[in-house]
Amino acid sequence: MRQLWLLSILAALGVVAAGCKTDQPARHASQINSRVSERTPATSLNPSVSSANSSANEAPKDDRPLIVCFGDSLTAGYGADPGESYPDHLQADLDARGYAYRVVNEGISGNTTKDAVDRLDLILRLKPALVVVEFGGNDGLRGLPIEQSRANLDLILKRLTASGTTVALAGITLPPNYGPDYIHQFNETYVLLARKYHVAMLPFLLQGVVGIPGMMQADHTHATEAGNKIVAENVLNLITPLLKH
């Protein structure tokens, strides 16, 4: 049963990734910004936009340390209403528990580990205190060489940890038709890199969400509002030991 639902979910994710690959970064930039609710203040990576918004709104500076959720559609909150991605719920959870952090959603649907490498400079400019890295699913569904995906993730973790930020790694897995050898190497990537860089790891981001009624959207790929709340709890449990109260 577990294999059947995991197969349908990840197969659907592959369709989304393939259809969005060429234009997703541009198309989803505005979508991601619109998803940032009152729970999660928007952060622009464009200095001119940031300056213009600051002048217009004259908002007080938010000096809370940043938690950047860095990933693909599962992080972006694809298909969910604005303010209902897992980073939005993570912000609410942190606020409720008295943690003074600001969560920034840097998820883009269709991103591979290579796309993540290309975006690293933008993430580092934010000077985050903690980054939750969630990539690899699109690589696996496309059957990309394990060595390539592993090298990209290795570089991501190397640069983030070298910058002084704390890193947490969230994984995904693949359906059985990809073969036991490929799946084993794919899953082992997260384990090996978490061990190499001494970072906290969540083996499966959608734990407690997949296969539960009401937790997944009709596409059987992305979490609903209720599902994203569970994902946020998964991530909160992962990062709580890394936070300063």
Q: What is the pLDDT along the chain (245 residues), one digit of tens a residue?
A: 444 444 444 444 443 343 333 334 333 333 333 333 334 433 433 333 343 444 445 667 889 999 999 999 999 999 999 999 999 999 999 999 999 999 999 999 999 999 999 999 999 999 999 999 999 989 998 999 999 999 999 999 999 999 999 999 999 988 788 999 999 999 999 999 999 999 999 999 999 998 899 999 998 889 999 999 999 999 999 999 999 97
Architecture of domain 2-46+64-239: 3-Layer(aba) Sandwich (3.40)
Residue 184 known to be catalytic: no
Here the contacts of 88-91 (C-beta below 8 Å, separation 24 or greater) are: 88/35, 88/36, 88/37, 88/39, 88/40, 88/228, 88/232, 89/39, 89/228, 89/229, 89/231, 89/232, 90/232, 90/235, 90/236, 91/39, 91/40
Strand partners for 134: 71
Per-residue tokens: 39 = 């729970």
Residue 73 known to be catalytic: yes
Candidate list 37, 73, 85, 109, residue with the active-site label: 73
Domain extents in the chain? 2-46+64-239
Enter the DSSP assignment of 59.
P
Residue 219 known to be catalytic: yes
Candidate list 8, 163, 219, 220, residue with the active-site label: 219
